Structure 1
Amino acid sequence: MILTVGIIVILIISFSFGRHRGLLRMLFGLVSYVVAILIAKASSTIVGTKLAALFPIVKTTSQTGGSALTADNGNQFLYNGIAFIIIFIIVRLICRWVIRRFNLITKLPVIHQVNALLGGVMNVLLTYVTIFFLLTIFQVWPSDWWQTQMSTSGLATWIINSTPVLSQQVVYWLTGQ
């Protein structure tokens, strides 16, 4: 229940932020989002392997149905996922700094309302994808509380299982298969 409410609140807040930012800034943000995913995907396996060597976890569990994870690749998946998130955040921060330099384009009064509405919709979509990645990666987190939240949240389970092609691809990316 807590996880479901948290996801809904995050999506509502993301619409508000997206509406404030507008479509043009969101498009620049989308490009940086794709760049960040590609860079994080390309380097997460290397960094994840180093993290696994530094901080080994023996037990991983996944109670979320439909997952392609096994006990053998759970640890590597978790560390590659953590590395992916860290690299993704760093690249996004750099891109955000660059995007702020182009802020004047979003202030055009002629297209301000349409720009705001479409920016809100686009931000909800980007936030949904981010939530999907986080839920998919942390479904193996070895915490009974977290596993209970994952298994009792219909929304979290729906997010993970409603996009089977993307779910499977994320597991393959982060396990190095």
Structure 2
Amino acid sequence: MVARYARLAGQKPASNPAHGDPPGPPSLCAPYAEPITAAVQAGLSAQRIYQDLVREHGFRGAYGSVKRFVRHITRRYALPFRRLECAPGDEMQIDFGGGAKTTTQGGGVRRPHLFRAVLSHSRKGYSEVVWRQDTESVSHLLTTLIAFLGRHHRHMWLSHIHALNSTIIALEPNHLFAPRVLFGMS
């Protein structure tokens, strides 16, 4: 509406950020667009880019302006999606997450643990909810998972399984192989 009245009065309406350059003065980072873009593509953080600009180019602007400029650039240079291919039965990702808050029989509120296993080849998944994340529960979950799938996979990538952290290191100094030793999957 305002743009229409400005046109009728013979004035140029302010530019719309969705339809061109944002209003206001140009960024102090504009002269450094090439090194900033190269640094963003190299995976450097805005803080590191700011420090490099100050040290190497004598940049006198604020960190906030670099952060805004980097945010603007990262929208243009989003990371490409990369699909990792693997053979059937080769890999599986196992993870624990927090379940929804649940009211117990005693009237208290607890948050259960959600066990999730996803096959890397077919994306077929298995989920189960448990109240505790101890060695016994994890052992039971892995046994149930193998029974559900009919076999175990060559590589099981484990993450966020707190019950394994101390037990694995105690049982196996080379803890890359410890889950198989711990649960008899060797």
TM-score bracket for this pair, using the shorter chain length: under 0.3
Greater gyration radius: 2
Pick the structure with more strand per residue. 2
Higher RCO structure, 1 or 2 (CA under 8 Å, sep 6+): 1
More helix by share: 1
